[in-house]
Amino acid sequence: MAPEDGDRLADLRGFTRDVMRQMEEDLGTRLDWVAGMMAFKGVVLEGLEVAFIVIAVGAGRGLLVPASLGALAACALVLLVGAVVHRPLSRVPENTLKFGVGVMLSAFGVFWTGEGLGVAWPGQDLALLPFAGLFLGAGFLGSLIARRPSMEIVQ
């Protein structure tokens, strides 16, 4: 399939469905199952992260029950928001989503690691904002570096 084949396609949606049907036959399985496994993998990873965070935040201070309840409430909220905005969210490019999540996780990671080491960040939770800004800047700088052609190609 190449861009120049586009003029031979009368109906892209129908063509895509045919390709997917053929893939199901070739793989000998329903694609629903593959999609389910991918979703399961993602949810397991995020679920484990939440469990680690709840234990880290709650266990040391005897606040495991409130932390767990907070995680459950957040889970319900995410499910609700996901159900409402899943269509517009699915149009956001995957790499943009990953970039945003990476910035947030990096900022939270440094913040919490510092707190664990006994660092009293100036501004407390507000320190997360400049951290996110710094990681965002580093991300943009990294993307600029990644876009530059390597020396071998230039030569």
Partner 1 sequence: MTMLKEIGAELVAMFLGDARLSLTVLCVVAGAAALIRFADVDPLAAGGLLLVGCLVVLIESVRRSPRL
Footprint on this chain of partner 1 (rule: CB under 8 A): 41, 44-45, 106, 109-110, 113-114, 117-122, 131, 134-135, 138-139, 141-143, 145-146, 148-150, 153
- Closest to partner 1 by CB, 15 vs 108, is 108
- Closest to partner 1 by CB, 100 vs 114, is 114
d(CA 77, CA 106): 23
- Placement of tokens 């949606």 in the chain: 13
In the complex, the smallest distance separating the C-beta of residue 46 from partner 1, rounded to whole angstroms, is: 10
In the complex, the smallest distance separating the C-beta of residue 98 from partner 1, rounded to whole angstroms, is: 11
- Closest to partner 1 by CB, 65 vs 151, is 151
In the complex, the smallest distance separating the C-beta of residue 82 from partner 1, rounded to whole angstroms, is: 21
In the complex, the smallest distance separating the C-beta of residue 87 from partner 1, rounded to whole angstroms, is: 27
- Closest to partner 1 by CB, 9 vs 34, is 34
d(CA 6, CA 103): 38
